[in-house]
């Protein structure tokens, strides 16, 4: 049983794991309007789960410095290259208290999840591996956490909707010389532990290159299921499209990006929007014409192909189907399947260019997921390509590599796409100093080995 203390009412993160409705010994989920079957999950059953978080190229028109990295990156692309394509500042003396409270929350989250899923040998092993992984990257975690709470360049908790956790964080460049390109980012978290703060490292680094980053929060399972997550993300995208100019962003240069589960959610929002604009559904407050390109990092786009893989990894079929609102809904929430429908032809022409990034060593979501989606998109007329990072895992590209400092293939690729056609910005990128290392190399290598993702 989930236990909610009185103090939790003031904790904005409590809704990550504690549903808003009255908690009982069982949780019931309605699978679909056409199916009146309820799934009752006993809180005491032993059901281990393996969490999914993210891990992670090269293209010819990068500068010659990238040639040294071709042995570590592969590019699968069509002939049509895409390379042209209100906050209060906390007092610093309170940093330890705020960091401790958030650490305590996520510890409680883990134990609540243990109660919900039951305790089994496999799950405990994964949990211990996750604990070791967290300890190894903690030097970087402290530095990023300090930046997140105290940087004057971050606008945290901007409300974009009327649902719980309908908030986003904005990472703003220091310079304000003209409208900036924007990345609207949907973070990962296995549809269960996603949080906008997960994007703080990406936000910090891209903002240093004069790119605004909007990290969009959304509600997680078991509080909601996938359709609500997609709706939350869509509301956040709408806010960015319609309001980013007030924060110095260029509304004509907005890039949508998602990572892991966030890549899946963002892709679903993109496909749903295409169907709406093609006249097969109700329109809403943002347009695909405002999205310059979609970047998907380590995402899964065909749930039929992934359900058995997730089951073998510990995200068991019964739970996964509850998240996705039943087996009959897998088609709707599999973008790769949806775009192949005969009645999607008109909608396909509305989709922006798509670039999918993936590590070949990713065993949480195999890189074949991105390759297959890219090939499917090209078959229906969408400009798409896949950029593969040789040997990189689900967390390497998103966590370890950015904390390593210096050369970062994914970061360089993102910046090159966003600044393509902007000679002045590209010149600044070329002259930018190397990024600072956050974690010693031996700790990052150990983190790569013990990571359960």
Which sequence positions are flagged as catalytic?
Answer: 260, 362, 394
* Greatest pairwise CA separation for the chain in angstroms: 61
Cα separation of 399 and 140, whole Å? 9
Give the DSSP H/E element, type plus range, for residue 115: helix 95-117
Quick one: which of 429, 425, 428, 386 has its CA closest to 411?
A: 429
The owner of tokens 């980012």 is: 185
Quick one: which of 155, 157, 191 has its CA closest to 173?
A: 155
DSSP state of 137: T
**Pairing state of beta strands 154-159 and 167-171?**
antiparallel
Q: Which residues contact 318 (CB under 8 A, 6 or more apart)?
A: 39, 41, 47
The owner of tokens 């300090």 is: 146
Given strand 167-171, what is the order of strands in its sheet?
A: 73-77, 384-389, 354-359, 291-297, 249-259, 180-186, 212-216, 167-171, 154-159
User: Quick check: 265 and 186 in contact, CB under 8 A?
Assistant: yes
Alpha helices per DSSP H over 194-290 = 200-207, 226-243, 261-275
Give the DSSP H/E element, type plus range, for residue 363: none
**Pairing state of beta strands 180-186 and 212-216?**
parallel
Query: Residue 359: CA atoms inside 13 Å, Cβ hemisphere, count?
Result: 25
Cα separation of 215 and 170, whole Å? 7
217: left (phi over 0), alpha (psi -120 to 50) or beta: beta
């Amino acid at each position: 049983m989930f236990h909610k203390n009185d103090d939790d009412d003031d904790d904005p993160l409590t809704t990550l794991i504690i549903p808003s409705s009255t908690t009982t010994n069982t949780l019931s989920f309605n699978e679909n309007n056409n199916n009146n079957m309820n799934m009752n999950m006993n809180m005491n059953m032993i059901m281990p789960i393996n969490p999914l978080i993210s891990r992670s190229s090269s293209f010819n028109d990068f500068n010659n410095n990238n040639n040294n990295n071709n042995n570590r990156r592969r590019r699968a692309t069509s002939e049509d290259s895409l390379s042209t394509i209100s906050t209060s500042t906390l007092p610093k003396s309170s940093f330890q208290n705020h960091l401790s409270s958030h650490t305590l929350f996520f510890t409680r989250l883990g134990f609540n999840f243990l109660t919900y899923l039951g305790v089994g040998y496999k799950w405990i092993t994964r949990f211990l591996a996750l604990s070791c992984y967290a300890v190894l990257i903690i030097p970087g975690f402290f530095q990023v956490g300090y930046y997140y709470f105290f940087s004057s360049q971050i606008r945290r908790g901007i409300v974009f909707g009327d649902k719980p956790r309908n908030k986003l964080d904005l990472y703003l460049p220091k310079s304000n010389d003209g409208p900036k390109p924007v990345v609207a980012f949907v973070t990962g978290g296995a549809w269960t532990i996603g949080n906008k703060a997960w994007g703080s490292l990406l936000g910090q680094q891209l903002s240093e290159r004069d790119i605004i980053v909007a990290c969009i929060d959304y509600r997680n399972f078991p509080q909601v299921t996938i359709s609500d997550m997609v709706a939350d993300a869509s509301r956040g995208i709408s806010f960015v499209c319609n309001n980013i100019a007030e924060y110095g962003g260029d509304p004509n240069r907005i890039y949508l990006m998602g990572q892991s589960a966030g890549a899946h959610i963002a892709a679903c929002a993109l496909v749903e929007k295409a169907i709406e604009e093609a006249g097969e559904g109700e329109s809403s407050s943002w347009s695909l014409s405002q999205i310059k390109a979609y970047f998907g990092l380590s995402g899964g786009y065909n749930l039929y192909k992934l359900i058995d893989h997730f089951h073998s990894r510990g995200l068991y079929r019964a739970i996964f189907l509850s998240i996705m609102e039943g087996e009959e809904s897998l088609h709707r929430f599999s973008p790769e399947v949806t775009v192949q429908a005969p009645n999607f032809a008109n909608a396909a022409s509305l989709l922006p260019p798509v670039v999918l990034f993936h590590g070949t060593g990713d065993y949480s979501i195999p890189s074949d997921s991105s390759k297959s989606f890219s090939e499917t998109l090209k078959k229906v007329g969408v400009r798409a390509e896949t950029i593969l990072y040789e040997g990189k895992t689900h967390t390497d590209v998103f966590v370890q590599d950015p904390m390593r400092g210096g050369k970062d293939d994914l970061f360089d690729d993102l910046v090159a796409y966003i600044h393509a056609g902007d000679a002045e910005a590209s010149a600044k990128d070329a002259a930018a100093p190397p990024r600072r290392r956050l974690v010693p190399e031996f700790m990052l290598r150990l983190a790569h080995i013990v990571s359960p993702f």
